[in-house]
Amino acid sequence: MKKIAGEFKEFIMRGNVMDLAVGVIIGGAFQAIVNAFINDLIMPFIGLLTGGINFNEQFIILKLPEGVEASQVTYANAADLGASIWGYGAFITAVINFLIMALVVFFLVKGINKVSSIGKKEEEEEEPTTKKCPHCCEEVNINATKCPHCTGDIPAEDA
């Protein structure tokens, strides 16, 4: 039992598992921010553009129980009344939420990559591996002393 507990402790303490746990926690908090952004700032404008339609309330009645009229059924009380509905509006809202969240994450990652790559451009420049032959101007290995193209001597000071 101690062996399993030790292996489990080693597994949990790995860096990538801890990073994943932190990512999930931050992702949950970030999701709350994005949902507030979508529901409180974006969806009201979409509602204005669509004439006040609340997509969450859009549905089609598939089957009404006896004694229930269609005018009595709302998205919220359909299950209580025993009506079968097809709630396509909730799906549309979920798709809109996903697209907006993906767009927000895209811009967030793009901004983070831009900020984190500011100092890396200088580090990424590699030493040249070739040079030009002074006689024929062909590319040759940086360590070459004789050109393989024209067989001319390449002076050491050009290296």
Cα–Cα dist 8/26, whole Å? 24
Per residue of the chain (159 residues), give pLDDT as tens.
788 888 887 777 776 777 788 888 988 888 888 788 878 888 788 888 888 777 778 889 888 888 888 888 888 888 888 889 998 888 888 888 888 878 888 888 888 888 887 766 656 667 888 888 888 888 988 888 888 888 888 887 644
CA atoms within 13 A on the CB side of 70: 6
pTM: 0.52
Backbone phi, then psi, for 146, in 5-degree steps? -135, 135
- Strand, coil or helix: what is 56? helix
Cβ contacts of 155-158, under 8 Å, gap ≥ 24: 158/131, 158/134
